[in-house]
Every structure is written in C-alpha cells, then in structure tokens.
C-alpha cells in the first residue's frame, strides 16, 4: 500500500458546460457530512452558506437539486495535489464588467499559481483552451484577440479539505497518482454501480508549464514492473465519482479488481450485487457519454437481476406528469429512508437561443429605439407629504362608525398612529375619503403610510390597491435593451422573438432603499428575457418600457430564492428567462403568460392606454 494525500474540490456543471467549484467552506461541509455518515443521502448547502439555501446535493445520484424550481445539475468530487492552489488556499480571480471579481476554473487557477511559484513573468492560457495571457508583473489578463486588459487578483482563503489514507500500489488497478508539486489531479477508481458509470469521466494531460485541458493524453508505454508502484511524471488522471470511496477508508475485501484474460474486470460488493463485467480502464478513456450510458444500462440490468431495487423518480423521456421539484423531493425523502433512488437524466435546460449575428438582430417594429436607461431617483411631486395626500382626498365631516383599516381605531376617534413625521392635523380634516375608490382613513394614517413608502407623489389605497398619481419604484440605475432575433419560442412558431436584456450593476443604496448608504449586490446580470414578436407581445414590451421608466421592474430587498439581503430582486412583474424550455417554470410554452403580465402591470398602475406612441 502507498500512503497518499489529496485535496478534495466539489464542483457543479453550469449551463455552459464548465465545472465551477463550490467554496472551500461548502466543500468542508460536504466532506464532514460524508465522514459523519458514509451512507448519507444528501447534504443541505444552506446550512453553511445562506445564499445556497435552496440547494441540496444528492450524494447517490451526484446531482445538485434546487428545491424551489426542481432544477438538477451534475456535481463531481475531484482530487488535487495538496501543494496546488486549492490546497494552499490561493484563489485567482478576474474583474468582470460590473467591477466585481469572478473566480477562474479550478484547473486554470492551479496553472496560474504554479506559474507564479516558478516566478514566470507571464503565462499563456492557450493550452488550457483560453485565448488569454496572464501578466504577473502588472497583474492583468490580456485578451489575445482584442488586446483588452482586465485586472486579476490573488486572494487567500480557507484551504479546501484534505483527505489522506492508503492507496494500492498497482498502477493498473488505480491509475497513476499525479506528481507532488505539479498541481495535478489524483486518480481513484469508482465502484461498478450504475451511477458511477453514468458520471465517469477521464481527464488526462501533460504537466508542462500548465496542464492541457480537454485534450487526449499522449500515448505512453505501459510502465515496467519495477516502476509500477511510482507515479508517472508525464501524465495525471482524474476520475469524477458520483459516490467515491473516501481515501481514509481501506479497501474492503469484498470490493476488489480482478483482471481476466479478456482484459476486463468485475467489481463485487457485499453479496455480489455489482458483479456485471466492465471494460478495462484503457478502453474507457475514449468513450463518449452515450457509450458510457450503454455500459451503465447493462449494469442497471445486472442490479435489477440481482434483486437490488431501483426506483426511477423522473422519466427520461419527459412522459411522466411528475413535476421535477416533486420528483426531487421524493428522491430526497426516499434516500433519507434508506431506499435506493435512481434519478434519471433530466430534460435539457435551454436558457438562450442559438447564436445570432449582429446583422440578424432587428429593431422591434413600431419602436425606433432599442435601449432605455434609468439614472437617478425621480423628483418628488408636492412640497410636503400632507399636501400630496390631501390632493387625492375629499373631506369627511361626519365619519361613519367604522374602523380605519390602517390603525384599526374608530374613524370617529383620533388616529392610532403615534410616530414621528406627521404634523398637527385639525379635527375637521382628521378623516378623508379617497376620491376614486371611496375608502375612508385617518389623514394622519395616510400621511404616515406615505412617509414609509417611496414618497414619489403617488398614493395607493391599502384596501383595494387603487393607485392615485403616477407610481414609481426604487429600481437602481441600469440599462434595458430590446430587439428582435430570428428564432421562435415554443408555442409561438409563427413569429420571431423579442429579446430583452436587463443590466444593473451593483452600487450604493439611496434614500429610497431599505438601507441607505449600504452597498447592494446585483446577481445574475445581464438577465435575458423573451417575448413573442406578436401584436400582444409588442404591447407587453411597450408597457414594460413604461414600467422601466418608472423604476418598477426591479427593486432592492431580500431575495426569496437565496435569502440574500440588500440585493436587486424582481418586483412582481414576471418575465420568461428560459428560451427553449420550461423546466423552471420561467419558459415557454405558457399560453396565459402575456395576459398575466398585463394584469401585473395593471396592478402597478400601468394600463394599456399608456402604451408608448409608435414612432
């Protein structure tokens, strides 16, 4: 046996096909859960990071599950050299257009740190698949095509968790271990269960100036028996495991690798449940994912034949009426009960349309412009809050025997409001009737309600929500772009698509926001939204432009999805952010979407007669 140590990094697959690492704190949390209960079914990420409160990692299927939408994303557990950047707690980041910092992918950060440790003046990321040059002297990233420079930074944080334990000497059984100091990946064999085969991926690369990412490994001769117990200096392998054995555990005598005359091997668990023959390691390197899935299906049949129950929770072909969120919750509950759960591959999420050239982008018919900006808060209308409120009230000389629905005190008596900000009000005008809807309130209560709002010169009846004046919001400054692209939305095959792009940078809260003077974040921008380029779709767009001008599309508050406070959030006007699917409920087809948006805009005081004039 050969003692070895490795740094564990848990990663999730984003919509662009790139593996993004979880933070060190989250990885420590997942590893701690595995150590405390090796049979653990799932880990709740919100326990360590409130921003990840909707997310659960299912350890059996190796998927990240979002509880509010039912979205599933693959996750993996990778092993890196302890002397690499993740083991040292070194993180490299680049400055994005919003002025905040974005972390490089794990392997790119490892390559940058290794080049810095060798005191190289610069590093070309072309071997890693990126057309960038890292300049360590000026701490910049230079685009090789556009020559654009961005700042980079090296940040120190908590190191990723370290695991150690006995590894077998046989190179054939486990694959080579990366050379210490090269920042490579540590290879470990998976078990032969269905999930392991479905998620199996093999990476190989030469460890020169930087690891080569996404290329086939060089052809090398098999090592001689004398060198079989030592790492190969020319290559490193990473196996992504859905449910890998922890390195601190010794190999069970019931799980062994047996090579036969055909070059294959079989892996058996207790009772011989996983005993289907598998191809040799070398034959798996060049296999595509469909080929691996075919092998996994053979393993699945072996599992069923051996009496091991598997419960499909989500239908692969989408014929099941089970909602993804319900399916995911069912899987978690069954895993917690100790029942095996087989999560099938979810339908593909299509957030964005196919690439569109600039010549194919056209203005929206009837609108000569294609961009709208908001800057500072609109000026108040009215000298004092009392003057604003009285503008919409009629005097009530004899108040009825009813309660004011704001303070819940009798209208015939004084207001129950005792707070500051309201001046003296005479008895004769202590009660007023809103002119349009007729509801009656204490004038002092209405003034207090106005002072606690946006103070934009408008007033909204707290009973029937009728709006008096022009309602505006506290949307931060930003930009709204809109144009037509030559693709159709599901359910709207006869028309093209209106694409709306919202972009709001982070900033400092103003007096109209919850915490004036405190910074606010802006997650997920630019946000892409879609409408059909139909007559009703263009009507919705014109009303959205009115809402944008009145700063009603977004607000600053607490996200209901992540729980993060002081961040930009949607403001009760729903948008469709999925282009070609409807997995999260924010896509098409949705026959009632346009009518629902018109109703939501009407609730914000924006009616159809307020459409912008056609130009």
Q: How many other CB atoms sit within 10 Å of the CB of residue 358? A: 5
Span 441-445, average pLDDT: 90
- pLDDT value of residue 182: 38
pLDDT at 76: 92
Phi and psi torsions of 511, nearest 5°: -65, -20
Residues 318-343: what's their mean pLDDT? Answer: 55
Sign of torsion over alpha carbons 24, 91, 155, 182: positive
Q: Is 201 or 124 the better-scoring residue by pLDDT?
A: 124
Mean per-residue pLDDT for 527-532? Answer: 96
Predicted confidence at residue 549, as pLDDT, reads 92
pTM higher than the cut 0.85 = no
Confidence band (pLDDT; 50, 70, 90) for 561? Answer: confident
Report CA-CA distances (Å) from 124 to 115, 130, 135, 177, 212: 10, 8, 9, 26, 11
Cα separation, 388 vs 375, whole angstroms: 24
In 3D space, the residue among 237, 236, 242 whose CA is nearest the CA of residue 191 turns out to be 242
Residues 263-307 pLDDT 10s: 333 333 333 334 444 444 444 445 554 554 555 455 444 444 444
Mean pLDDT score, 158-184: 49
The rounded radius of gyration (Å) of the Cα atoms in the chain is 30
* pLDDT for residue 345: 52
26 backbone dihedrals φ, ψ, rounded to 5°? -65, -40
- What is the spatial distance between Cα 602 and Cα 69, in angstroms, rounded to a whole number? 27
With 60 as the cut, is the pLDDT of residue 121 above it? yes
Mean pLDDT score, 53-74: 85
Helix axes 535-549, 593-603, angle to 10 degrees: 30
Q: Is the pLDDT of residue 557 over 80?
A: yes
Please say if the pLDDT value at position 587 is more than 50.
Answer: yes
Q: Residue 615: CB partners within 8 Å, gap ≥ 6?
A: 366, 367, 368, 369
Residue 84 has pLDDT above 70, yes or no: yes
Residues 6+ apart with CB under 8 A from 214: 129
Domains of the chain: 5-164 (3.30.720.50), 385-468 (3.30.40.10), 478-611 (3.30.390.130)
Q: What is the pLDDT of residue 614?
A: 45
How would residue 310 be classed by pLDDT, with cut points 50, 70 and 90? very low
599 vs 597: CA distance, rounded Å: 5
Closest Cα to residue 259, out of 189, 194, 308?
Answer: 189
Region 62-79: mean pLDDT is 86
Of 133-142, 326-335, 421-430, which has the strongest mean pLDDT?
133-142
Query: Which segment, 3-12, 121-130, 338-347, 381-390, is predicted with the most confidence on average?
Result: 121-130
For residue 195, what are its two tokens? Answer: 């999930």
Round the average pLDDT of the chain to a whole number and report it: 74
Task: For 363-392, write each residue's pLDDT tens digit.
Answer: 999 887 889 887 655 545 456 888 888 888
């Amino acid at each position: 046996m050969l003692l070895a140590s490795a740094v564990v990094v848990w990663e999730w697959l984003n919509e662009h096909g790139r593996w993004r690492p979880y933070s060190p704190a989250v990885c420590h949390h997942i590893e701690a859960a595995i150590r405390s209960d090796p049979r653990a079914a799932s880990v709740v990420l919100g326990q360590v990071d409130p921003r990840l409160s909707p997310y659960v990692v299912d350890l059996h299927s190796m998927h990240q599950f979002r509880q509010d939408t039912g979205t599933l994303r693959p996750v993996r557990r990778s092993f890196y050299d302890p002397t690499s950047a993740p083991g040292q707690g070194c993180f490299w980041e680049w400055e994005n257009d919003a002025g905040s910092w974005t972390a490089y992918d794990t392997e790119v950060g490892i390559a940058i740190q290794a080049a810095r440790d060798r005191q190289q003046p610069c590093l070309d990321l072309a071997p890693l698949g990126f057309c960038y040059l890292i300049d360590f002297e000026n701490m910049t990233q230079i685009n090789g095509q556009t020559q654009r420079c961005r700042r980079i930074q090296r940040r120190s944080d908590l190191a990723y968790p370290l695991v150690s334990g006995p590894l077998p000497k046989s190179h054939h059984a486990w694959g080579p271990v990366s050379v210490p100091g090269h920042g490579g990946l540590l290879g470990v064999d998976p078990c032969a269960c269905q999930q392991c085969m479905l998620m199996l991926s093999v990476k190989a690369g030469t460890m020169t100036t930087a690891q080569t990412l996404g290329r086939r490994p060089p052809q090398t001769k098999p090592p001689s028996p004398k060198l079989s117990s030592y790492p190969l200096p020319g290559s490193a392998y990473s196996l992504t495991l859905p449910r890998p054995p922890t390195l601190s555990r010794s190999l069970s005598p019931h799980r062994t690798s047996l090579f036969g005359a055909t070059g294959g091997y079989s892996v058996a668990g207790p009772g011989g449940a996983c005993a289907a023959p598998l191809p040799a390691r070398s034959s798996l390197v060049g296999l595509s994912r469909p080929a691996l899935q075919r092998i996994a299906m053979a393993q699945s049949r072996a599992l069923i034949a051996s009496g091991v129950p598997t419960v499909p929770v989500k239908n692969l072909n989408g014929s099941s009426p089970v909602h993804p969120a319900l399916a995911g919750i069912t899987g978690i509950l069954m895993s917690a009960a100790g029942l095996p759960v087989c999560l099938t591959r979810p339908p593909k999420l299509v957030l964005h349309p196919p690439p569109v050239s600039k010549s194919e982008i056209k203005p929206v018919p009837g609108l000569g412009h294609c961009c709208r900006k908001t800057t500072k808060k609109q000026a108040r209308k009215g000298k004092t809050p009392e003057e604003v409120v009285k503008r919409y009230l009629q005097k009530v000389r004899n108040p009825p025997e009813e309660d004011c629905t704001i303070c819940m005190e009798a209208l015939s008596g004084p207001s129950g409001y005792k707070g500051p900000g309201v001046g003296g009000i005479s008895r004769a005008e202590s009660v007023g009737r809103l002119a349009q809807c007729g509801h009656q309130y204490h004038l002092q209560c209405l003034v207090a309600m106005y002072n606690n709002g946006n103070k934009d010169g408008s007033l909204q009846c707290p009973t029937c929500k009728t709006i008096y004046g022009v309602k505006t919001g506290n949307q931060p400054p930003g930009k709204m772009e809109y144009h037509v692209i030559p693709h159709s939305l599901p359910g709207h095959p006869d028309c093209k698509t209106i694409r709306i792009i919202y972009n709001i940078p982070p900033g400092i809260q103003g007096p109209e926001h919850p915490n004036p003077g405190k910074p606010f974040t802006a997650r997920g921008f630019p946000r892409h939204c879609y409408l059909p380029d139909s007559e009703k779709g263009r009507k919705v767009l014109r009303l959205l432009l009115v809402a944008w001008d009145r700063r009603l599309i977004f607000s600053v508050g607490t996200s209901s999805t992540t729980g993060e406070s002081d961040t930009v959030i949607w403001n009760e006007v729903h948008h469709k952010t999925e282009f070609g699917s409807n997995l999260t409920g924010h896509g098409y087809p949705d026959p009632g979407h346009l009518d629902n948006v018109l109703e939501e805009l009407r609730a914000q005081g924006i009616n159809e007669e307020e459409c912008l004039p056609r130009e």
